[in-house]
Structure 1
Amino acid sequence: MEEGLVLLDGPDGVAVTMTAYAALETGKSLLEAARLIEEKSHNDKL
């Protein structure tokens, strides 16, 4: 965190700067997408 912003450094030189709100909303979206994929994967195994 720097000056109220969230900094994210990823692979291959990816760098993202977000407000706290944007980081929270992005985190929620990522978690929901991961849950949906896990649920689909589990259901496909049945």
Structure 2
Amino acid sequence: VLRDSGVIWQRPQGRENMISLRREDLDARFPGLLDTLLNVMQQP
């Protein structure tokens, strides 16, 4: 679901798959969302 919606991308590396967040695409679709979530998670 995440890959199909464009949130992550997946690439094979040997027998494993590496998963990366598509930060630029997320920021374009939802400006400031990821920064807000990361800031909230860092608060005590």
TM category (shorter chain) comes to 0.3 to 0.5
TM-score computed with the length of structure 1 as normaliser: 0.34
Q: Which has the larger radius of gyration?
A: 1
TM-score computed with the length of structure 2 as normaliser: 0.35
Which has the larger strand fraction? Answer: 2
Which has the larger helix fraction? Answer: 1
